[in-house]
Structure 1
Amino acid sequence: MKHRITLITELESEMHKQGYSLSHFSKVSGINRGILSATLNGNPPKLMSITQLDTMVKALGKPESWLYELFIEQCFSEENKANWRRVRALLLRCIELNRDDLIGDILNLLMEDPIHVAHVFNLAEELVEQNQAIVAMPFYECVIENERNYHSERLAISHYRLFRARISPIIENNLRLAMVFHPFRNRLPDHFRLEALLELANIYYTVQDWNMVIACSDELNILSNIIYKQDCKRRKKKIAVSTPSFTRPLVTYYAQSHLMKFVALEHMEKYDEARPYLKEFSDLSWFEGLDDLGKEHVEKFKIYALFNELNLELLTGHTDKLVDYFELLKTHPGEALPSLLIISKAANKYDMKIDHILTYFDDIIYPNDILDYIHQARFLRDHYKNIPIGISRYINIYYQLALYQCNRNVYDEKLEKILLALETSVEKYNRGRIMDCLELFKKLREMPREHKD
């Protein structure tokens, strides 16, 4: 009662200062006189809603969220058990006003009763559905901190939401996120788990943890196969097949599971093991239930298979394939980043000359800002290629190009340009690669410098 009276006292005091009678304030605010009287003078006073408080505050000319602290105290006073409907409206209003401080206070008070964990989770999910994922993050954090059942689905989903929302261009940070989330992946609903496994594989790719890429790819393959077989059975029985909000077509997850495993084996130089996986994504026209987007992705994977087949040819010493590769790359410049990485690696391995290719793609290799370029290029390519992978490829390309220039044994302007790009990208996005560069820098110190007259 004390908190309710305190809130009412503040309102009545301000009304008195401004010379309002109950009737006059009712007209100015638009609040029914009877409701206003019951709220201010009732015994006990009628509970006030946040909408009613906002209306009164506006009529009094006070700033938005004035007296919210007292309203919160009233909501959680000893004589009032927190009413979720009332608190929910308050939380939504605090979101509108960007009052993150108050949201934290409210969530802490709510968690005194564990029953509200489910309410907070459901509100967070509603916010995500309304494209307010960032706003929902404190609510998921609250669930993670207060969920008592470690094996609950909502705990896993909360970890998943935080994991996805916090992925950034900073590769080391992403690895930490992956390590926290990884144990919860198998408790997710299938449609979330598909995306989670793909994202985990991508992150492990950026840190070159090929064994983990393979592990996630295998899990993704098993899961996508299970879902596909279930869908096929439903079609045969003429039961409607519902795909529960997959982020991408099911065929994409299936194809990516093979592509990512192929790429991991390729980087591990297990070329004979990698080769069979090319067939698994080179022609997916047999995949049932393809919609227009699925068919579009099937065509893209045909292109990826062509590139990756040439990757194997180059990396296994068939340097004559470089001409074909260059021509294919000209027609698909969106594949420049992964292709230039392989071409430069093969050039270093087999002493190939690739200066003409580097000159042709100079603008792509050295954009003014690699992050801006990757953001723009994403819209030119398929939508599941992500920012951290693009950054990782740039770092690896610069490293390989530095080796390429080193092999010419001349420290010139080209090498300085490459080293500056390498240093900048490692410093900004993946400081974990600094140690990898030490051997390169040691080699550079031993090189003769090109002198200008």
Structure 2
Amino acid sequence: MELVPTIRAHIEKYMREQNLKLQHFSDITGINVGTLSAILKGSRPMSMNQLNQITSVMGLEKGYFYESYGVESFIESAPHWRRLEPYLYGCAELGKLDCIQQVITHVTDDRSYIEELFDVAESFFARGLKEAALILYECVADSEKYQHSERLALCQYRIFLLHKTMSKFDNLAAAVQLEPYVAKLDEEIQLDAVKDLANVYNTIHHWDKVYELAEELERKVDFQLELQSRRRKNKERIAFYPIFTYKAYANLLKASVCEARKQYEKALEYTDVYVNVIEISNPTEEEQELIERFKGWAQGNRYLYHLMNGNHEVIEPYLNYLDANPHEILTAFVNIVQAANQHSLDIDSALYRFDPYIKQFNTNMHLKGTYNMQMLNHRYIRFYYELAKYRLNQQRYATGIDTLLTSLELSSSSNDDLMSIKSIDLYGKFRMYVTNQQDEQYTRLIEGLSSQNFGIRIKSV
């Protein structure tokens, strides 16, 4: 087996090639000559700062020696937190995840660093270094001795947040794994965890579970509001949002469940509830911003529920509302076109009016971050599916099939198997009207679906 040169050997070779004496190398690196001598003799460990200084002087990119440093300092030698912590930060900032994984797997054999690793994971999470944070959370969770600890529960919650993907099956598995730990979280953090669980179940249309979690969320909020009325006003909030907004959100979730079940009158009742919840006195700037957001949702949702209930007269005021709230256009038009299909409405004028916005759907021009990405992507798919159905019912077969193929392509690329099946089924009903070019595109999409592991079997229509 060929031995890998040590960092010290690389430095000594560089000094020989550049004909550098120790004092000169000390001068250009800024490292004390005695310290440098001890490092080269192997009698003193090198700090991360010294490693970066030497790497820069040698004309190498930052992080060039990180893998070797990890092996020499933490695997072949006894790890020391004073060097390990800056090493983890350095690797995370440069995206050297393999280095983190290699070192952490070895270090967590000794449980003495579990608490410090968890704190670093929390720091990474707060700074958006998500992949590095995930490695640490998973290692801490695997090594956690006290299986009922709050730290373990928080690790599982962070893992859940970081593991969410565009795959509904993966999200469901992550939700199921998190649920047993929710009750072990801090009581305020439980509000965020239950909300996030409900959002995941919402994306996979598990309406009974969404409603159950909404009720659980409301119970937890009521308890927190009662506590809040008793304790000192300046206590720092742990939950991400003001506490009362979770009660409003719980009723928004219930309204969305009623909408899915076509219980529009009940959905309107829950809308009234969350509008009443947000009526608080002397709101802060943050609270006022959230209050306005809920009021906007309520206004748009009332138009929606009336429209879906067959009240066609609300279309015009609904469109006027969308003019003032362009970030709601995608969500609104999914439902407007669905209502048109359900009640045989002619909405061509509405589609023409908002055509510039509709053309931007699923492009970088569309506002990002307004919705959870899974929910946003699903709305794109649903819009094109409903629009395809609308065009096909109008006997506009060419544009209808093109739009349907867009829906199938999007559902395929995002692993949305349910919408893929619905698109395939609708295509089969109108296959007699497709062109050769459209059928070739459809075949390519089906071949792509067949090569993916959906847990379902795709057949050509």
Q: Partners of 1:434 and 1:91 in 2: how far apart?
A: 42
Correspondence for 2:429: 443
Tell me, yes or no, if the aligned pair for 1:251 and 1:298 is still in contact at 8 Å. Answer: no
Q: Partners of 1:371 and 1:204 in 2: how far apart?
A: 26
1:363 and 2:362 correspond: no
Correspondence for 1:33: 33
The count of residues paired between Structure 1 and Structure 2 equals: 431
How much does 1:123 deviate? Answer: 0.9
Moved more, 131-140 or 255-264: 131-140
Corresponding residue SS for 2:26: helix
Correspondence for 2:409: 424
User: Aligned in 2, Cα 1:265/1:10: closer, same or farther, shift over 3 Å?
Assistant: same
Correspondence for 2:215: 218
In structure 1, which of residues 121, 124, 127 is the aligned counterpart of residue 121 of structure 2? 124
In structure 1, which of residues 372, 378, 390 is the aligned counterpart of residue 364 of structure 2? 372
Superposed CA deviations along residues 384-442 of structure 1, whole A, max 9, x for unmatched, are: x323222222222222233333433x243331342133122212224312123343223
How much does 1:63 deviate? Answer: 5.5
Tell me, yes or no, if the aligned pair for 2:191 and 2:246 is still in contact at 8 Å. Answer: yes
Superposed CA deviations along residues 165-193 of structure 1, whole A, max 9, x for unmatched, are: 34455555544443443443333334443
How much does 1:266 deviate? Answer: 1.4
User: Aligned in 2, Cα 1:138/1:430: closer, same or farther, shift over 3 Å?
Assistant: same
Moved more, 114-123 or 128-137: 128-137
Q: Partners of 1:299 and 1:9 in 2: how far apart?
A: 64
Q: Partners of 1:77 and 1:23 in 2: how far apart?
A: 31
Q: Partners of 2:317 and 2:218 in 1: how far apart?
A: 31
Give the alignment's TM-score, normalised by structure 2.
Answer: 0.81
User: Aligned in 2, Cα 1:34/1:330: closer, same or farther, shift over 3 Å?
Assistant: closer
Tell me, yes or no, if the aligned pair for 2:341 and 2:386 is still in contact at 8 Å. Answer: yes
How much does 1:120 deviate? Answer: 1.4
Counterparts in 2 of 1:390-405, with a 5 A limit? 390-405=376-391
Give the alignment's TM-score, normalised by structure 1.
Answer: 0.82
Pick 1 or 2: higher relative contact order, CA cutoff 8 A, min separation 6. 1
Superposed CA deviations along residues 268-298 of structure 1, whole A, max 9, x for unmatched, are: 1233443321211223453356312212322
Correspondence for 2:234: 240
Tell me, yes or no, if the aligned pair for 1:411 and 1:447 is still in contact at 8 Å. Answer: no
* 1:274 partner letter: A
Moved more, 194-203 or 8-17: 8-17
Q: Partners of 2:170 and 2:409 in 1: how far apart?
A: 17
* 1:391 partner letter: N
Q: Partners of 2:341 and 2:351 in 1: how far apart?
A: 14
Counterparts in 2 of 1:249-398, with a 5 A limit? 249-287=242-280, 290-367=283-360, 370-376=362-368, 378=369, 383=370, 385-398=371-384
Correspondence for 2:142: 145
Tell me, yes or no, if the aligned pair for 2:201 and 2:207 is still in contact at 8 Å. Answer: yes
Tell me, yes or no, if the aligned pair for 1:251 and 1:294 is still in contact at 8 Å. Answer: no
How much does 1:264 deviate? Answer: 0.9
Tell me, yes or no, if the aligned pair for 2:7 and 2:65 is still in contact at 8 Å. Answer: yes
Correspondence for 1:55: 53
Corresponding residue SS for 1:290: coil
Counterparts in 2 of 1:86-165, with a 5 A limit? 86-165=83-162
User: Aligned in 2, Cα 1:216/1:47: closer, same or farther, shift over 3 Å?
Assistant: same
* 1:329 partner letter: L
Q: Partners of 1:396 and 1:276 in 2: how far apart?
A: 26
Percent identity between the aligned chains? 28
Tell me, yes or no, if the aligned pair for 2:75 and 2:106 is still in contact at 8 Å. Answer: no
Q: Partners of 1:69 and 1:299 in 2: how far apart?
A: 51
Q: Report the RMSD for the aligned CA atoms in angstroms.
A: 3.2
Superposed CA deviations along residues 212-244 of structure 1, whole A, max 9, x for unmatched, are: 22122222222222222222223xxx5424212
Moved more, 130-139 or 55-64: 55-64
User: Aligned in 2, Cα 1:350/1:9: closer, same or farther, shift over 3 Å?
Assistant: closer
Tell me, yes or no, if the aligned pair for 1:163 and 1:178 is still in contact at 8 Å. Answer: yes
Structure 1 gaps, min length 5: none
User: Aligned in 2, Cα 1:372/1:199: closer, same or farther, shift over 3 Å?
Assistant: farther
Moved more, 278-287 or 117-126: 278-287
* 1:137 partner letter: L
